[in-house]
Structure 1
Amino acid sequence: MGKLLWTPSEQQVQDSNMYRFMTGVNRKYGTNLTSYPELWQWSVDHIPKFWAEMWDYAKVIASRSYDEVIDDVTRMPGARWFSGARLNFAENLLRYRDDRPAILFRGEDQVRRRLTYAELYREVAGTAASLRAMGLKPGDRVVGFMPNMPESIIAMLAATSLGATWSSCSPDFGIKGVLDRFGQIKPRVLFTADGYFFKGKRIDSLDRIHEILKQIGTVEKVVVIPYTVDAPDISALPNAVLFNDFRTDTANDIEFEQLPFDHPLYIMYSSGTTGLPKCMVQGAGGILLQQMKEHLLHTNLRREDRIFYFTTCGWMMWNWLTCALSVGATLLLYDGNPFHPGPEALWQMAEEEKMTVFGTSAGYIAALMNTGLIPREQFDLTALRALLSTGSPLSIEGFDFVYQAIKPDLQLASISGGTDINGCFALGNPMGPVYAGELQCRGLGMKVEAFDEKGQPVIGRQGELVCTAPAPSMPIYFWDDPDGKKYRDAYFDVYPNVWRHGDYIEINERGGVTIYGRSDATLNPGGVRIGTAEIYRQVEMLDEIEDSLVVGQEWKNDVRVILFVKMMPGYELTDDLKKKIRDTIRTNASPRHVPAKIVPVPDVPYTLNMKKVELAVKKTIQGQVVLNKDALKNPEILDFYADIKELRED
């Protein structure tokens, strides 16, 4: 059992949106729910009632209400949600039009920009009017190759106000990575900045856009936002226009297209490390309802909040963060390296902007630990009430660090879900305690279970993360998948009518969830299943190790555990250090977790969304072909893994 780190006060519990929602359910249905586990159980036992209550609680703006919540709660995929409803996603995010701040932005150049809700509405109105004048219609694709800046959100809202479908990549994607994504969906309009800043350097985007346009023939207009220079030269780009010249100044109102609940809103992408990225099409109403649930209830978000997530436009957390506009909160945007000019960068911003919710990745927290910075000693974090972490499992040491070095009285919500659902399967609960190494709860309305080898749900044992009932933000379909085969193969090939997500988890008696890594990377030495996160947690405690990667290598009719380590500057992988690593893993995990080989490497491969790619390394060391190295941030490093002599020896 994990160590108890934080418990909300009774006043905090009763002041939470979650508590108010629960008491509303009790009044309406005559129930006597008193705790989160009881509320969760009710939500998955009565899925149509729960999502109907969420629709009302979120005050969804719709020109026509729904006829029924769901047509068949037993059908996955293919359940139809909120049939008959007509709404617009952007209208729901632009419901506030006052002088409260909507977006506060700063980049590495430290230039601060502020947009009120009224100003945001006007910016979107002008951009939408120009898109409409082009003849843009519902279902057309509009894409962004953009830094995490206000114009990215303006472009998305303008496009979706017309019913266009939005997709985005961050500007650190290479040409092939962009073509692999946008090339499939054939966009009509492309928004881009002239460049971006990273580690103090200006990096140009327009040369890559020029090459991309040569191979995507459907783009009718390129809208360029000046960011790194005041007047970028766009003469070499066909059909290009500067943002201020494109946007109409005279438009004051937005004509929000009223569309079905499942109208295509976003196209998101799988990592693409095993071939072309899969293009997951997500419906407007489902994304709105899922993300509003997570903001309002699980994050306890209110208008007075200032919410930050360190993300790029190529990661689903950008889409997730943007939906906080529907609550009327203030979005804090940062673009650039989070450690530039030093590790204090984001904490300086947190103090100055009075940040209340700080969102980041487990990788950032691990890197911050290595810098020696103690944010609570240098910065006034009085306003901060919650810290969110995702991207990979947060180690127990990471949990401890947050409470010791950042703030002892806050809700630490380790959250986990996926690009696939643009939301979470397990996440935070403002009514409940925080235990080291655990996600607080399964999401309301998400019938998440852990399946054992026989496909049976288990408690207190590791198993496959599955969702045994539909949820509204599951993809409506995959792009270019007319018979639905790609979709079914992605999630339903192992358990028919049950979503298999690909994570290895444990659900305990109180409903807490521990993530052990990707199930396709689960180690199986001697037939015993081991999650890679269990090993990472131990290695992250060692000062000598900067980063690590674990895979299972097929060896002599079994599997042996291989641990690759990237050393901190100034350290070498000596025999004594290998012994220290093995002893640490043996003592704190088990003898089964101890690697057969510990191998030094110059770097660890990551996807463009900064996730370790264990499967690509596993394939590489076994002589198999990795089909799409362009999906990696540092693809050249795989060449090193392909020729490690030590892995051919006992």
Structure 2
Amino acid sequence: MAKCLWTPSEERVQQTNMYRFMQVVNDKFKKKFNGYDALHEWSTDNLEDFWATMWDFAEIKASKPYDKVIDDPTKMPGAKWFEGSTLNFAENLLRYRDDKTALIFRGEDKVRRTLTYKELYDETSRVAASLKAAGIKPGDRVVGFVPNMPESIIAMLAATSLGAVWSSCSPDFGIKGVLDRFGQTKPRILFTADGYFFKGKVMDSMEKIAGIIQELPSIEKIVVIPYVSETPDISVLPNAVLMDDFKADAPQEIEFEQLPFDHPLYIMYSSGTTGLPKCMVQSAGGVLMHQIKELMLHTDLKKEDTIFYFTTCGWMMWNWLTTSLATGATLVLFDGNPFHPGPDALWHMAEEEKITVFGTSAGYIAALKAAGVKPGSNFNLSSIKALLSTGSPLSREDFEFIYDEVKSDLQLASISGGSDLNGCFALGNPMGPVYSGELQCRGLAMKVFAYDDDGKPIVGEQGELVCTAPFPSMPIYFWNDDDGSRYHSAYFETYPGIWAHGDFVEVTERGGVIMYGRSDATLNPGGVRIGTAEIYRRLEQMEELQDSVVVGQKWNNDVRVILFVTMPEGQTLTNELMGKIKKDIRQNASPRHVPAKIVQVPDIPYTLNMKKVELAVKKVIHGQAVKNKDSLKNPESLDFFENIKELQN
């Protein structure tokens, strides 16, 4: 049974934005809601009323009001949101122009810089003026190959203030990985930095940028941000200019281009491990509304907060974090390795910057625990009110680690969604309790269920995560998908008219959600589907192991579970340890979860966003080609999984 780890006090509940929003709904619609469940049910049954109320609650800046919230709440895909309205995404994020700190930048090289909201507006205005002078107009693509630093946000805001479409990759992407993304969308302007820092080393980007530009003839200008050098040599890059030389001389009023609600804002990319990445185009209004709902209500973000998320510009959490500017909060941007110079580096930062909302990945939390770090004992973390985790399922033990070793009085919000929607299906509820291993709730106005194989909603059992009603941040289309066939096949083939996300989940009796991993990576021994998360949960408790990946191998007209493990340096997988692993999984998961084979390998493949690539491993052991290894952080690791003799019998 899941253990209740935290319950907010009544005083804390009544101070939340969620509670205030609930009172607005009660007053406006003559309701008497006193908890999340009733509010959620109302929001999914009354999409139009919910989103209209959210528009007012968030004080969305629009030059023209909407005629109708949604044209057809039963249409998916293709529903039209807030038709008639005109707005600008960047204008909503730059609504404050005061002397409050907007951005704190912490580079791994000990750099610390701050920008106020006024300075952020002024800097954005200078870049926007230069982009306009370069002929950038609505619909043009402007891209960033950039570290997570203030100039990246400034470039995005400047581009979107003109109605340009923004897209970004982090500088640890390989040349082919960048070309697989930007090459599809033909950008006109590229923002980049001369390099970045990682584990104390300077990583020069100039040679990589030169290689990218050779294959991207659409690029008319390269704007280089000096980071690892004060005066980088940009002579190797055609049509390149330093950021300071590119910007207009003086700040000015930004003429925010007023555009329809569904004007394209971002192009987001799928991981691309099974072919060219999907280019998902999302709307300015849709992203703004969806993310501001999640930040204000589910994260309880307020102007006095300081929010941090450990992310790169190649992950949707960067986009999500950036929208926090619309609330007037202070954003902490970190670029580098979170374990440099030591495993407690981010907690030093959390103490120094008085971070109130600390966001990271489940992988980071597991690594922190494995390293024996006890942040709550070594740092003053009294400012932290919420800790967010995403990227992969957070185990029950890691939930308990947070409350035991970080802080006992905080909201731990494990959140899950994806780049596809630039947001979440299930996430935090600041008015509700936290149970071990469980995401607190399904998002407001998100009609999310677990479906069985017959397409029926189930509770307390594992099934396919689906969403049965439209939401504003759905992609408006995929790039180069004129007939919509790729978009349709990505989400709507399994259950027509219903979004199937590809996650294997359980909706609990109390309305929480347990994540079991990607449904295309679920195991099917004996015809019974089981999630990999339950196995990983057990393995994470074993100090003898360094890392692992679990896949299903087709065998004798069935599927058998194969476990690959990496060992600490100098250690070898023994029969004794294999026996211990099998016994633990049998006793604490089920006999079906027990691996048929356990094989030691030198490395485990991860995407650039640090997600395990089970599907690629599965392909390799079945002799199938992995088409796009450039989406992997360590593509050479896949070589270890070819022709493994232990899998031949």
> Partner letter of residue 430 of structure 1?
P
Instruction: State the match for 2:460 in structure 1.
Output: 460
**For residues 576 and 219 of structure 2, what CA distance do their matches in structure 1 show?**
58
SS in structure 1 at match of 2:324? helix
Instruction: State the match for 2:564 in structure 1.
Output: 564
Instruction: State the match for 1:393 in structure 2.
Output: 393
Instruction: State the match for 1:648 in structure 2.
Output: 648
Task: Please list, as runs of the form range in 1=range in 2, the aligned pairs for 1:175-186 lying within 5 A after superposition.
Answer: 175-186=175-186
Instruction: State the match for 2:65 in structure 1.
Output: 65
**1:373 Cα deviation after fit:** 1.2
Tell me whether 1:323 sits opposite 2:319 in the alignment.
no
**1:33 Cα deviation after fit:** 1.0
**For residues 309 and 373 of structure 1, what CA distance do their matches in structure 2 show?**
19
> Partner letter of residue 40 of structure 1?
H
Give the alignment's Cα RMSD to 1 decimal: 0.6
SS in structure 2 at match of 1:402? helix
Instruction: State the match for 1:230 in structure 2.
Output: 230
Which string of whole-angstrom CA distances, capped at 9 and with x for unpartnered residues, describes residues 194-242 of structure 1?
0000001001111111111111101111000000010000011111000
Instruction: State the match for 2:413 in structure 1.
Output: 413
Task: Please list, as runs of the form range in 1=range in 2, the aligned pairs for 1:232-631 lying within 5 A after superposition.
Answer: 232-631=232-631
SS in structure 1 at match of 2:457? coil
**1:571 Cα deviation after fit:** 2.9
**1:290 Cα deviation after fit:** 0.4
SS in structure 2 at match of 1:430? coil
Instruction: State the match for 1:635 in structure 2.
Output: 635
> Partner letter of residue 283 of structure 1?
S
SS in structure 2 at match of 1:104? strand
**For residues 382 and 591 of structure 1, what CA distance do their matches in structure 2 show?**
43
**1:277 Cα deviation after fit:** 0.5
Tell me whether 1:37 sits opposite 2:9 in the alignment.
no
SS in structure 2 at match of 1:389? strand
The TM-score with structure 2 as length reference comes to 1.00
**For residues 381 and 181 of structure 2, what CA distance do their matches in structure 1 show?**
40
Question: Is the deviation greater in 577-586 or in 142-151?
Answer: 577-586
SS in structure 2 at match of 1:274? coil
> Partner letter of residue 522 of structure 2?
T
Tell me whether 1:112 sits opposite 2:112 in the alignment.
yes
**For residues 566 and 96 of structure 1, what CA distance do their matches in structure 2 show?**
50
SS in structure 2 at match of 1:545? coil
**For residues 377 and 291 of structure 1, what CA distance do their matches in structure 2 show?**
34
**For residues 460 and 374 of structure 1, what CA distance do their matches in structure 2 show?**
34
> Partner letter of residue 629 of structure 1?
K
**For residues 637 and 571 of structure 2, what CA distance do their matches in structure 1 show?**
20
> Partner letter of residue 243 of structure 1?
M
Tell me whether 1:216 sits opposite 2:216 in the alignment.
yes
**For residues 535 and 387 of structure 2, what CA distance do their matches in structure 1 show?**
24
**For residues 284 and 564 of structure 2, what CA distance do their matches in structure 1 show?**
42
**For residues 517 and 638 of structure 2, what CA distance do their matches in structure 1 show?**
21
SS in structure 1 at match of 2:453? coil
Which string of whole-angstrom CA distances, capped at 9 and with x for unpartnered residues, describes residues 436-477 of structure 1?
000000000100000001000011111000000000001000
Task: Please list, as runs of the form range in 1=range in 2, the aligned pairs for 1:108-147 lying within 5 A after superposition.
Answer: 108-147=108-147
**1:263 Cα deviation after fit:** 0.4
**For residues 581 and 54 of structure 1, what CA distance do their matches in structure 2 show?**
49
Which string of whole-angstrom CA distances, capped at 9 and with x for unpartnered residues, describes residues 363-404 of structure 1?
000000111111111111010110000000001111011001
> Partner letter of residue 565 of structure 1?
V
**For residues 605 and 615 of structure 2, what CA distance do their matches in structure 1 show?**
10
**For residues 252 and 2 of structure 2, what CA distance do their matches in structure 1 show?**
54
When the two structures are aligned, how many residues end up with a matched partner?
A: 649
> Partner letter of residue 572 of structure 1?
T
Instruction: State the match for 1:153 in structure 2.
Output: 153
Instruction: State the match for 1:23 in structure 2.
Output: 23
> Partner letter of residue 90 of structure 1?
A
The TM-score with structure 1 as length reference comes to 0.99
> Partner letter of residue 335 of structure 1?
D
SS in structure 1 at match of 2:551? strand
**1:625 Cα deviation after fit:** 1.1
**For residues 373 and 361 of structure 1, what CA distance do their matches in structure 2 show?**
16
The structure 1 segments of at least 4 consecutive aligned residues displaced by more than 3 Å after TM superposition are none
**For residues 521 and 111 of structure 2, what CA distance do their matches in structure 1 show?**
42
**For residues 384 and 326 of structure 1, what CA distance do their matches in structure 2 show?**
21
**For residues 479 and 642 of structure 2, what CA distance do their matches in structure 1 show?**
33
**For residues 528 and 569 of structure 1, what CA distance do their matches in structure 2 show?**
36
**1:570 Cα deviation after fit:** 4.2
**1:249 Cα deviation after fit:** 2.2
**For residues 251 and 302 of structure 1, what CA distance do their matches in structure 2 show?**
28
**For residues 448 and 53 of structure 2, what CA distance do their matches in structure 1 show?**
20
**For residues 499 and 421 of structure 2, what CA distance do their matches in structure 1 show?**
11
> Partner letter of residue 621 of structure 1?
I
SS in structure 1 at match of 2:192? strand
**For residues 583 and 3 of structure 2, what CA distance do their matches in structure 1 show?**
23
**For residues 29 and 271 of structure 1, what CA distance do their matches in structure 2 show?**
42
SS in structure 2 at match of 1:216? coil
> Partner letter of residue 66 of structure 1?
Y
Which string of whole-angstrom CA distances, capped at 9 and with x for unpartnered residues, describes residues 477-512 of structure 1?
000000000000000011000000000000011101
> Partner letter of residue 252 of structure 2?
N
SS in structure 2 at match of 1:388? strand
SS in structure 1 at match of 2:546? strand
